[in-house]
Amino acid sequence: MVTSEQEFERAEARSQKEREAGHVISARYDRRRRRVIALLNTGVEIAFPAAQAEGLADASPEDLAQIEISPTGLGLHWPRLDADLYVPALMRGVFGSRSWMAAQMGTAGGRARSAAKAIAARDNGRRGGRPRGTTGENFNESDPAQIHEAKSVARQVRRLIDLNNVKLGKEYYPAHLSVALIDAVFTTRLRYEAQVVPIIDRYCQHFGLMRTRADRNSLPRPEEQETLGDLIEHYEIRGIRLMEDDVFKARYCSPGTRITKVENVYRSAVALRDIGLENLQDAASKPPWEIKCALRQLSGIGPRTIHMFLMYVGDENYVKGDVHICRFVAGALGKKRVRAEKAERIVQEAAGILGVRPRFLDFSIWQYESGSIE
Q: How many other C-beta atoms are found inside a 10 Å radius of the C-beta of residue 245?
A: 14
Single out the residue of 145, 54, 59 nearest to residue 104, CA to CA. 54
Q: Rounded distance, CA 173 to CA 313, Å? A: 8
- Average pLDDT (81-95) is 80
In this structure, of 36-40, 292-296, 318-322, 369-373, the range with the lowest mean pLDDT score is: 369-373
pLDDT for 129-160, tens place per residue?
444 444 444 444 446 777 899 999 999 999 99
pLDDT > 80? residue 2: no
In this prediction, residue 254 has a pLDDT band, given cuts at 50, 70 and 90, of: confident
pLDDT band per the 50, 70, 90 thresholds, residue 10: low
261 pLDDT higher than 80: yes
Polymer length of the chain: 374
314: left (phi over 0), alpha (psi -120 to 50) or beta: left
Position 63 pLDDT exceeds 60: yes
Residue 3 pLDDT > 60: no
Helix (H, G, I), strand (E, B) or coil at 45: strand
DSSP 243-280: IIIIII---PBPTTSS-BHHHHHHHHHHHHHHTT--SH
Q: pLDDT value at position 372?
A: 54
Query: First vs last Cα of the chain: how many Å apart?
Result: 67
Are residues 352 and 149 in contact, defined by beta-carbon separation less than 8 angstroms? no
Q: Which of 28-42, 173-187, 189-203, 343-357 has the lowest mean pLDDT?
A: 28-42
pLDDT higher than 80, residue 181:
yes
Give residue-wise pLDDT tens across range 300-347. 898 899 999 999 999 999 999 999 999 999 999 999 999 998 999 999
Output the pLDDT for position 13: 62
- Quick check: helix, strand or coil at residue 124? coil
Which residue segments constitute the domains of the chain, with CATH numbers given? 22-110 (3.30.2020.40), 118-168+322-370 (no CATH), 175-312 (1.10.340.30)
Asked whether the predicted pLDDT for residue 86 surpasses 70, the reply is yes
pLDDT at 253 over 70: yes
pLDDT at 7 over 70: no
Contact 321, 304 (CB under 8 A): yes
What pLDDT does 173 receive?
97
Better-scored residue on pLDDT, 237 or 124: 237
Mean pLDDT of 260-282: 94
With a cut of 60, say whether residue 6 has pLDDT above it.
no
Mean pLDDT of the chain: 83
What's residue 282's pLDDT?
Answer: 95
pLDDT at 212 over 50: yes
Ramachandran class of 72: left when φ > 0, alpha when ψ lies in -120 to 50, beta otherwise = alpha
Quote the distance between the C-alpha of residue 90 and its chain's center: 16
Residue 137 vs residues 48, 92, 174, 233, 343: alpha-carbon distances, Å: 11, 19, 28, 37, 14
Is the pLDDT confidence value at 246 over 80? yes
